[in-house]
Amino acid sequence: MFFILSKFCAFLLKPTGLIFIGLFLIWLNRHKKHVSKYIIATALLFYIFSNEFIINELYLSYETPSISRSVVSPHDIGIVLTGGLMNEEKEPIENLFLGSHADRFAQALLLYKDNKIHKILISGGDLKLISRPIKSEGKLAAEFLIKCGVNASDIILEDKSVNTYENAKFTAKILKQKYPNQQFLLISSASHLPRAIACFKKHSISVTPYGADYTSKKRRFMLVNFIPNIYAFENSQALVHEWIGFLSYKLMGYC
């Protein structure tokens, strides 16, 4: 019940939820003279959240800056956080369908090939309340990496965690017990890294962040970037999700 309630509250705080509230207020006050202010406010919200230039600027200011792979110093373990790495519900399973955030472990693969990391730890289990995967995402990602030339002995699986806080908690336990005093590279979506870094710091694990799956683009002052765009709206949803996640983790003492 708490999980469903938290998801509903999060929905109301996201762009889609705010616009839904605006439309509801318009309907509620449809026969009143001041309904125009709700119409203007809702239209303004939609324009801001679907403005590619504004959303790109927000991502540029929030995402962890990208760094050249060539300047990264060698680390013992690269930690890859799951969540969209693989499509674990699509058959045939032998095809190993990639997910929307597959760039996370693609970057880990490149780092491994360049000897920037010597082992890859994949952190993340399955939230059974949401889906019934055919096979866990972490295991599918491991299979893909092995087929790409990564030694099976160089892959570590942490399959208990279901959120970023638990990623850090359970990964920290493994690292402290089996790989103490080593150097760790944390690989995740650039907009997710601020929250992930804070969680690992909370569990006394020092990591070097390495961004993947970037949403931000080079700043361009073009008229087309100021026209409402559905992709910009989708990106605003994801960014606000990260803001809400970071704030809620702070309030709960997770980071």
**Residue 139's CATH number:** 3.40.50.620
Q: Are residues 205 and 236 in the same domain?
A: no
Q: Are residues 76 and 177 in the same domain?
A: yes
Q: What is the pLDDT of residues 6-41, one digit of tens each?
A: 677 788 899 999 999 999 999 999 889 889 999 999
Q: Are residues 14 and 121 in the same domain?
A: no
First to last CA, the chain: 24
In a domain, 217, yes or no: no
Q: Are residues 147 and 88 in the same domain?
A: yes
Q: Are residues 75 and 192 in the same domain?
A: yes
The pLDDT assigned to 29 comes to 94
For residue 200, pLDDT over 90 is answered with: yes
Q: With contact defined as beta carbons under 8 Å apart, do 229 and 123 qualify?
A: no
Q: Are residues 51 and 94 in the same domain?
A: no
The pLDDT assigned to 9 comes to 79
Cα–Cα distance list, 23 to 33, 38, 40, 43, 151 (Å) = 16, 8, 11, 10, 54
Q: What is the pLDDT of residues 91-110, one digit of tens each?
A: 888 888 899 999 999 999 99
Q: Are residues 183 and 77 in the same domain?
A: yes
Instruction: Tell the residue number behind the tokens 């996201």, with chain if given.
Output: 14
Q: Are residues 58 and 108 in the same domain?
A: no
DSSP readout, the chain? -HHHHHHHHHHHHSHHHHHHHHHHHHHHTTTSTTHHHHHHHHHHHHHHHTBHHHHHHHHHHHSPPP--GGGPPPEEEEEEE-SSSB-TT-SSGGG--B-TTTHHHHHHHHHHHTTSEEEEEEE----TTT---SS-HHHHHHHHHHHTT--GGGEEEE----SHHHHHHHHHHHHHHHSTT--EEEEEETTTHHHHHHHHHHTT--EEEEEES---------GGGGSB-HHHHHHHHHHHHHHHHHHHHHHHT--
In a domain, 77, yes or no: yes
In a domain, 225, yes or no: no
In a domain, 222, yes or no: no
Q: What is the pLDDT of residues 235-251, one digit of tens each?
A: 999 999 999 999 999 99
Q: What is the pLDDT of residues 139-160, one digit of tens each?
A: 999 999 999 999 999 999 999 9
Q: Are residues 22 and 138 in the same domain?
A: no
The closest of 116, 214, 203 to 164, measured between CA atoms, is 203
Cα–Cα distance list, 159 to 53, 73, 116, 124, 178 (Å) = 38, 28, 24, 5, 16
In a domain, 218, yes or no: no
Q: What is the pLDDT of residues 112-121, one digit of tens each?
A: 999 999 999 9
For residue 4, pLDDT over 90 is answered with: no
In a domain, 165, yes or no: yes
The two structure tokens encoding residue 169: 């908690």
Q: Are residues 162 and 93 in the same domain?
A: yes
Domain residues for the domain of 52 are 2-63+230-252
Domain count of the fold of the chain: 2
The closest of 100, 87, 50, 79 to 185, measured between CA atoms, is 79
The pLDDT assigned to 8 comes to 76
- Please, what is the average pLDDT of the chain? 92
In a domain, 224, yes or no: no
Q: Are residues 93 and 201 in the same domain?
A: yes
pTM: 0.91
Q: What is the pLDDT of residues 40-98, one digit of tens each?
A: 999 999 999 999 999 999 999 999 999 999 999 999 999 999 989 988 888 888 888 89
In a domain, 219, yes or no: no
Compute the average pLDDT of residues 174-195: 97
Q: Are residues 47 and 83 in the same domain?
A: no
